[in-house]
Amino acid sequence: MSTLTLIDSLLEKDSMEEASAHLDALDVTNMSEEEKAYFYLLKTSYCKETNETCISDSFINKSITYYEQSSDKKKLVRAYCIRSYFLYDTEKAPEAILQLKKAEELAEKEKDNKLLVQVYSCLSSYNLFSGNIRAALSYARKTKSHAL
């Protein structure tokens, strides 16, 4: 298992301290473009999960740029979701929802329930916070149906 895959599994298991140690130990200068995109995806995912401030959105933007050109659409969905989180957090709700709609379209094509749950859950929350109760409930139902 590569270090990046290990970090991904640690983040999924909510082992943040261990993931952080591995992230901090990596040097991106000698990584391939694919590895850098994955590293930036993981780093911003870590920032999101721990509420750590990322210096800028350039990391996730680099991941998105790479994954938009690659065949790994699952990582692109994840990157769109993470970008939406940072956009929403900086009071750019309409842009955040547009990112999630892109993620939704790709996740539906991929037929990946885990990604669909992530996307629908975020769309439900963002719509709820924006006062769009009907859309929030609709996405909550979709979340439930794909989580089972």
| pLDDT tens figures, 26-45 | 999 999 999 999 999 999 99
Which residues, 6+ apart, have CB-to-CB distance to 118 below 8 Å?
Answer: 77, 78, 81, 107
Tens digit of pLDDT at every position of the chain (148 positions)? 599 999 999 999 999 999 999 999 999 999 999 999 999 999 999 988 888 777 668 899 999 999 999 999 999 999 999 999 888 888 888 899 899 999 999 999 988 899 999 999 999 998 898 899 999 999 999 999 988 7
Burial profile 104-139: b = 16 or more Cβ within 10 angstroms, e = fewer = bebbeeeebeebbbbbbbbbbbbbeeeebeebbeeb
Nearest Cα to Cα of residue 78 among 99, 95, 58: 99
User: Contact, 71 vs 38, CB < 8 A?
Assistant: no
